[in-house]
Homo-oligomer: A and B are copies of this chain.
Amino acid sequence: MKLAVVGGGSTYTPELIDGFARLREELPLTEIALIDPHEHRLELVAGMSRRMLARAGHQAAVHATADLAEGVAGAQAVLLQLRVGGQAARDVDETLPLECGCVGQETTGAGGLAKALRTVPVVLDIAETVARHAPQAWIVDFTNPVGIVTRALLDAGHRAIGLCNVAIGFQRRFARHLGVAPKRISLGHVGLNHLTWERSVHLDGQDVLPALLAEHGTEIADTVGLPERLLHRLGAVPSYYLRYFYEHDLVVEEQRGKPSRAADVAAMETALLSIYADRAADAKPELLEKRGGAFYSEAAVALIASLLGDRGDTQIVNVRNGSTLPFLPPEAVIEVPAAISGAGAVPLAVDPVEPLYAGLISHVSAYESLALDAALRGGVERVEDALLAHPLIGQASLAADLAARLVAANTAHLPWARS
């Protein structure tokens, strides 16, 4: 069983490798291809990965290559975890919107749009190569903005599923609060990628969310950065990405006084690479915990195991809406529980969504369709339209200003913006 990781030279990769080692019984990999154009970094990461697998006694071969076609050939699954433009581009996503009074975040608002513009064409090129050299492979997309990227892949006809670690993070956290094994917890998770609410938490078939909020409301509110009172009123737990909406101005204020997350991560990456360069290092460094992306390997292993093993169990992924949320178009991509089998991910029916959530979901989903259009066809006016359609922007002069700045700052990554 061969798995390919596009963007395998990321400093994050050892986290994935650690998961593959721990979960080898669930997913018995025999080959892991790490694919990355940054050959020096790739070499360091691949070396570290081999030592980690060796220490764990895992037999899988690690193949490092800059050649995408070679890397994906024969793979049954391809993970996408790339970052077009690296931390430098992310730094722009996080700081430029701030100058206009808007939240600076690489997946939400103006920053998320910039990332979509850079990422969608690159991912579609990669997927074309996958389709040619590993036509049966499942493409699992971690690359943000996952909702838009997944829709781009599905629209182009690829065997793709989008994956995020928000849901698994809640599952683990709630299990810890309840003192039970995570697999006994099922989430009533609904929305779009990075715009989700947990409306129920089932333990052995009973909804324990009311009890969970009663006993652990303070900690949960703390984790998502929202007033505990709000969670009690909603009777639901918004993801921490909803903080960018529900506490937008507060976040802007906080962000203004701090270095960007990109700057933090860039520093962390330098430190991680120097650890990976140490030929004696063979254990996941603690620093990696702060890198983000917790439980991604668990989620990815479970997803791939169910796809390849045709397990038919329920996992939370990004899939086509179809008629699941009747207030969204069928072609929209949503993040909900789905049955995962060899035939792919099929969303489960969802209880009617409350207006308080449905209104915002509709608004952001409409933005996503315009963002995808801008990413595919280019043009500063399409960028402006997408920004005008976003509930966190929504103003004409602001959209014009931000569109001009974002395009100018990303010219290197937007072929249509050059000339």
**A247:B396 contact, CB within 8 angstroms:** yes
Give A366's nearest chain B residue, CB to CB. B359
The reply to whether the CB of A363 lies closer than 8 angstroms to some CB of chain B is: yes
CA A320 – CA B349 in complex, angstroms?
10
Question: Hey, which chain B residues are within 8 Å of A320, CB to CB?
Answer: 349
Question: Hey, which chain B residues are within 8 Å of A254, CB to CB?
Answer: none
The reply to whether the CB of A341 lies closer than 8 angstroms to some CB of chain B is: yes
Smallest CB–CB gap between A417 and chain B, Å? 18
The reply to whether the CB of A129 lies closer than 8 angstroms to some CB of chain B is: no
CA A324 – CA B321 in complex, angstroms?
11
Question: Hey, which chain B residues are within 8 Å of A35, CB to CB?
Answer: none
The reply to whether the CB of A310 lies closer than 8 angstroms to some CB of chain B is: yes
- Selected from B233, B314, B346, the residue in CB contact (under 8 A) with A385 is B233
The reply to whether the CB of A375 lies closer than 8 angstroms to some CB of chain B is: no
For A367-386 the 0/1 string (1 means CB < 8 A from B) is: 10110000000000100110
The reply to whether the CB of A287 lies closer than 8 angstroms to some CB of chain B is: no
CA A120 – CA B392 in complex, angstroms?
30
For A330-341 the 0/1 string (1 means CB < 8 A from B) is: 000000011101
**Residues 336-364 of A contacting B (Cβ, < 8 Å):** 337-339, 341-344, 346-351, 355-356, 358-360, 362-364
Give A233's nearest chain B residue, CB to CB. B381
Smallest CB–CB gap between A244 and chain B, Å? 10
**A202:B343 contact, CB within 8 angstroms:** yes
Question: Hey, which chain B residues are within 8 Å of A230, CB to CB?
Answer: 396
The reply to whether the CB of A312 lies closer than 8 angstroms to some CB of chain B is: yes
The reply to whether the CB of A37 lies closer than 8 angstroms to some CB of chain B is: no
CA A207 – CA B351 in complex, angstroms?
30
For A197-209 the 0/1 string (1 means CB < 8 A from B) is: 0001010111100
Give A315's nearest chain B residue, CB to CB. B312
Given A233-B385, A339-B339, A394-B246 in contact, is the A312-B314 Cβ separation under 8 Å?
Answer: yes
**A346:B349 contact, CB within 8 angstroms:** yes
Copies held by the complex: 4
The reply to whether the CB of A313 lies closer than 8 angstroms to some CB of chain B is: yes
**Residues 292-316 of A contacting B (Cβ, < 8 Å):** 307-308, 310-314
**B369:A355 contact, CB within 8 angstroms:** yes
For A219-254 the 0/1 string (1 means CB < 8 A from B) is: 000000011011001000000000001111110000
The reply to whether the CB of A124 lies closer than 8 angstroms to some CB of chain B is: no
**A388:B356 contact, CB within 8 angstroms:** yes
Question: Hey, which chain B residues are within 8 Å of A227, CB to CB?
Answer: 396-397, 400
Question: Hey, which chain B residues are within 8 Å of A395, CB to CB?
Answer: 245-250
**B226:A396 contact, CB within 8 angstroms:** yes
**A341:B202 contact, CB within 8 angstroms:** yes
Smallest CB–CB gap between A212 and chain B, Å? 15
Smallest CB–CB gap between A131 and chain B, Å? 17
CA A313 – CA B337 in complex, angstroms?
12
CA A254 – CA B341 in complex, angstroms?
42
Given A227-B397, A327-B362, A364-B359 in contact, is the A186-B314 Cβ separation under 8 Å?
Answer: no
Smallest CB–CB gap between A155 and chain B, Å? 15
Question: Hey, which chain B residues are within 8 Å of A205, CB to CB?
Answer: 307-308, 310, 341-344
CA A320 – CA B351 in complex, angstroms?
11
Smallest CB–CB gap between A200 and chain B, Å? 8
Q: Would you list 9 pairs from A and B whose C-beta atoms are within 8 A, ordered by A residue?
A: A205-B344, A207-B343, A229-B400, A245-B394, A247-B395, A323-B326, A358-B366, A359-B389, A359-B391
On A, residues with C-beta under 8 Å from B are 101, 184, 186, 200, 202, 204-207, 226-227, 229-230, 233, 245-250, 307-308, 310-314, 319-320, 322-329, 337-339, 341-344, 346-351, 355-356, 358-360, 362-367, 369-370, 381, 384-385, 388-389, 391, 394-398, 400
Besides A186-B310, A207-B343, A246-B394, 7 other A-B contacts (C-beta < 8 A): A205-B341, A205-B344, A233-B381, A323-B326, A347-B349, A355-B367, A360-B363
